[in-house]
Amino acid sequence: MATTRTATTQWKGALLDGSGTVSLDTSGVGTFDVSWPSRAEQANGKTSPEELIAAAHSSCFSMALSHGLAQAGTPPQSVETRADVTFQPGEGITGIVLSVRAQVPGLSAEDFQQAAETAKANCPVSKALAGTTITLNAELVG
């Protein structure tokens, strides 16, 4: 069964001096301020597309790793994943580093490395970030 998740951004002004909010519509868990300075300089209490990508990637990877380990008969006690998404103004996203720490009783370091590599290759967000078809629906109003 397919699911669709929705977020909406309201933006006012030009890129450099404008600002906006992004709301997590499906879950309703929050609305967050966004701006160019929070993206290209310091966060200053606001989020950015890259931070949202990092959140998506770290949670997806953790789920994929946990699932893979459990299917192999070695469910983890805990998995902590950090995703660092680097944004370079003028270039875009230049890299993502996933750092994971996990407690998995009875699993060798070599087997854990293999499970982590498999999760990195197969989590849906990793696949989407590796290259995906993007569909655009654009409507000019006003």
Among residues 73, 52, 54, which one has the least CA distance to residue 62?
54
Which stretches within 8-139 are classed as H helix? Answer: 36-40, 49-71, 109-122, 124-130
CB 74 within 8 A of CB 37: no
- Token pair, residue 34, equals 């966004």
Among residues 32, 53, 55, which one has the least CA distance to residue 44?
32
Residue pLDDT, tens place only, 9-63:
999 999 999 999 999 999 999 999 999 999 999 999 999 999 999 999 999 999 9
What is residue 142's predicted lDDT score, i.e. its pLDDT? 42
How many CB atoms are closer than 10 A to CB 81? 23
